[in-house]
Every structure is written in structure tokens, then in C-alpha cells.
Amino acid sequence: MSKNKVQHQHGYSLPDLFNNYGTETQCINALFKWKWPSGFVCPACSSTSYCSLKSRKLYQCNHCHHQTSVTTNTIFENSKLPLTIWFLSVHLITQSKIGVSALSLKRQVGVSYNTAWRIKQKIMQVMKERDDKRQLSGIVQIDDVYYGGELHGGKRGRGSENKTPFIAAVSTNGKGHPVYMNFNVVKGFRLSEVARWAKKHLAEGSVVVSDGLACFTAVTEAKCEHFSTVTGGGPESVTKEQFIWVNTMIGNVKNSITGTYHSINAKHLPRY
């Protein structure tokens, strides 16, 4: 059997991380280049002339004397933790296929549980915000998803008040390979709510494929084409070719959550 090219592609190892970002100076230099790729620019007056206040890790504009740092307006701002701990945490969280719990992060980077939890939430929040800004385009597979159900009683399945509703979406390229994904909480599966979601998360002209859930027709309000296939439910419904990537994503997300976390508060779910 031939090797899976995706699974065996060159990754970014811990030795790679420590070689590139193993010291505080390396981390600061990296942030400087990412923040000002063409050289320092004062955020107050746009001057490019500056001096370094090394004792305070600040950069001062020579024109207006405004002071700033490489961590200003980032998740690292006002943190007392070394940047090396932050960079290591980013690596561990983003490289794990099944997710990293706060307890596991605590053990691996050597901080308290509360600190590990805050680090994790901050990193996942900025990842979510970046994904939310990106509109999916091309051929987009979508499906309805529910998570939760810890409460007992009430309606089961679609419309359950015990579960949090999501729209799962995956964009694919011309070869049918997945490119980007979105996993967004919605207020319910109504025409108006799906239309609101589509206008925010889908690029005009996208071709959207879904199952027979009637509310998904509302994606046309975002100037997208829509095609539906009635799946009928059951095991066969998740193996249909036109939904293979969105079903794979849903399965991976659910396995990650159930395999790594004991429970997740509904208000934190969007980050996961």
C-alpha cells in the first residue's frame, strides 16, 4: 500500500521550533519581522525612524515619541510569561490533530492549570477570529450539526433545546480537495438564520451543496447557487461523495472533543 502523502508530508517538529524560537530574542525578532515586514512604522504617525528602549523592550518613534512593542495588540500583550512559553503553546495546540487539553498543556509547558487554560483560550480565540473573517468560495459542502445534550428530557435530534446548533462547511478546489473549513454556531436552522450565516461566511458565486434540509435554500440570498441531495439519514448518508469532506470534518471535530475533553461549556464551544 502506498504512503498517504498528506500524512507523510514534512511537518514542523519540536527541534525545528526550538532551533527557530528557542530563545526570547529569537521570538522578539520573529514578532518584529511579522509585525513590520518592511521595517518599523510608527502606529501613531507612520514615521519609520525609531530607537530601541532595550530595558523596557519598547520601540520609541523619533518623530512623535510614541512607544510601542512587538506584543502590542497581540495575545502576548501584558503577559508576564516568556514568549518561548507562548510559542511552544502555539505549536502544541496547532500541531495536534485531536486537540490539547488545558491539563495536558499545563504539564507540557510547566505552568499552572489556570494559566494553561487562559493560554489555550486566547490562542483558539484568535484562530477562530481569523477563520471567521475568511469567506468560503468555490464548491462548498455544508451540513447541520448539533453538539451537547448533557441535559435530560426535552426534544431529541433536530430542534433539541439541549444541544448547540452549528453549520459545518468545507470549501473544495477544482480537484475536489478540501481547502478551508468553517464551523459556526447558529441560533437555529431557520431560513433567516441560514441567510445571515451565508452572507457572512460565503463568497458570492459559490456553489453550495447540502442535504435536503429546507432552510439551506436560503444560501441563495447570499448570491450563491444551491444544490441539495436528500440523503435519507442512516450510515449511507455520511458516505455520499458530494458530502465526504464535510462529514470527515464533522467526524474529526467530534472525535477531537470527545477524545480529549471531559466536557465543554456551550459558550466556549465555538473556539473548539
Cα 193 to the center of its chain, rounded Å: 22
Pick the closest to residue 241 from 180, 182, 176 (CA basis): 176
> Can you read off the three cell numbers belonging to residue 49?
525612524
154: pLDDT strictly greater than 60: no
Closest C-alpha to 80, from 107, 42, 118? 118
pLDDT band at 151 (very low <50, low <70, confident <90, very high): very low
| DSSP 8-state code for residue 205 | T
Q: What is the pLDDT of residue 152?
A: 47
Residue 11 pLDDT class (50, 70, 90 cuts)? confident
| pLDDT of 175 above 90 | no
- Is the model's pLDDT at 198 over the cut of 90? yes
* Greater pLDDT, 156 or 187: 187
Is residue 1 scored above 80 in pLDDT? no
Looking at 34-38, 110-114, 182-186, which range is the least confident one? 182-186
The pLDDT, as a whole number, for residue 171 is 95
- pLDDT class of 221 with cuts at 50, 70, 90: very high
pLDDT digits 0-9 by tens, 43-98 = 999 999 999 998 888 999 999 999 999 999 999 999 999 999 999 999 999 988 77
pTM as predicted: 0.76
Among 177, 193, 183, 195, which residue's Cα sits nearest to residue 139?
177
